Amino acid sequence: MQHLDEGTIHAWLDGALAPDEAARVEAHVAECPQCAAAVAEARGFIAASSRILTALDHVPRGVVPLARPARWSNPAMWRAAAAVLVVAAGSLVVVRNTGRDFKAGYTLTETPDTAPVLQSAPPITILAKPSQGTAGSAVQQNVSPAQKSVEKRVATDAAAPAEQTLATTRSRVAESGNAGALSSRPNIVASDNSVAAAPTAPAVSDSAEKVSPASGYASIQPARPPIVLRGNLTALRAGDSLSALGPLKVVGRPRQVGARITLYEVTPTDTVTLTEFMNVQLESVVVTGMSAPTTQRIEGQAAGKAAAAPSPQRADAPVAARQDSQREAGGMAGAEQARARAVPAPVTAVGTANGVTTVTWTDASSGNVLKLSGRLPLAQLQQVKIRIERERAAAAAAAKKNP
């Protein structure tokens, strides 16, 4: 028999031969070493080619891209998603960095036009007048140097309910008043005045010093609308308890361009951050400041919280001021408003974000915007604010005496 051809050997190994032919091949392979070697080789080829073809199964999808252009949208979509992520992360950083500035910015930009601010101004104007000595305005006609006339004006201008409030307040003061509290009161009121009245603060505190302590609270308090007084009283009580706590510990002063930052330690675990924005920066902040609606929201928030807050001038003042302007119909109110518009009046804004409470207000002596923030309840933060203001006032007074 002839030697087996390769095709027959493969057909035999693949089981494709008819039984009789397969038997013939088997018999030949058994006695022919050459064909046996060929069969062994063929087995190797079959196994090897199977293995090689298996390697073809590990093909990536989409090796031939143009047949299905839709597949190219996948990488594009990934790129788009990545771009969105980058932009989102970037804007988050920007918002976080500018968040502080924008809060400060609104104070300057929005104050002159907002009604509560205008209406909280009148009492300050009256107090400031005598020391400023401006002549000829409608305001001045109403203001006499003596404390009495101021008192009289309040008495005539304020509505009956307001007078009742004043009486109530007086009796509350009497109830709570011990000697120490009474003697410390003028100072506190003065410092509160300095918060409220931006550029005229020295005059205010001067007049406060003159009348205290001999004439007591009554001589100062009528200078402000009675309803405002109630707020001062709260602050006053808080101040009394705070006075025993001693000075706040300064734990750090991180540097920042355009702002002075002071870290105060309230308790070993709680620190608050006081940021004083310099006027230079405020100009630029106005440009970058965000939208008015946000500001309005904060203002509303502040007004809403004011009843509970220790300094509720903003919430209560409009009531008195509106009565005021109704009675005087134009004249004085108009002049006051004009003044208030020219002077950046004080604003206390309160905000809470991520557990951090922030109080923003305008410093009376410097006109700078101050921002106090910390992980504290609002009431506690307000107390810290009063302590800081007191310390700042003391430091300013010391600097005045020893230039």
Partner 1 sequence: MTDVERLFRTYNAALVRYLTRRLGDRDWAEEVAQETFVRALRQTSIQNERAWLFAVATNLVRDEARKDMRRRKHLALLAEQERDEVVEPEETTLERAQDAAMARKAVDALAERDRLALLMREEGLDYNEIAEALQLSPGSVGTTLSRARRRLVESYESLQKSREEREKNAAS
Positions touching partner 1 (CB under 8 A) are: 5-11, 14, 16, 42, 44-46, 48-50, 52-53, 55-59, 61-68, 71
Q: How far is the CB of 82 from partner 1 (least distance, A)?
A: 20
Minimum CB–partner distance for residue 385 and partner 1 (Å): 57
Q: What number of other Cβ atoms are within 10 A of residue 120's Cβ?
A: 27
Smaller CB separation from partner 1, 14 or 209: 14
- Minimum distance of partner 1 from residue 56's CB (angstroms): 4
Half-sphere exposure of 187 (CA within 13 A, CB side): 17
Q: Kindly state the DSSP code that residue 61 receives in the 8-state scheme.
A: T
Least distance to partner 1 from the beta carbon of 74, Å? 12
CA-CA distance, 21 to 18, in Å (whole number)?
A: 5
Residues with Cβ within 8 Å of 29's Cβ and at least 6 positions away in sequence, in order, are 4, 35, 36, 39
45 vs 78, beta carbon nearer partner 1:
45
Contact 119, 321 (CB under 8 A): yes
- Cβ closest to partner 1, residue 64 vs residue 399: 64
- Tell me the helix, strand and coil percentages in the chain, rounded to 5: 70, 10, 25
* Residue among 403, 349, 391, 393 at smallest CA distance from 102: 349
Instruction: Give 52 or 398: the residue with its C-beta nearer to partner 1.
Output: 52
**In the complex with partner 1, which residue's Cβ is closer, 61 or 96?**
61
Minimum Å gap between C-beta 52 and partner 1 is: 5
CB of 70 to partner 1, least distance (A): 10
- Rounded Cα distance, 80 and 339, in Å: 55
For CA atoms 78, 79, 84, 90, give the dihedral sign.
Answer: positive
C-alpha of 249 from chain center? 24
Residue 21 vs 209, nearer CB to partner 1: 21
Q: Is 13 exposed, middle or buried (0-12, 13-18, 19+ CB in 10 A)?
A: middle
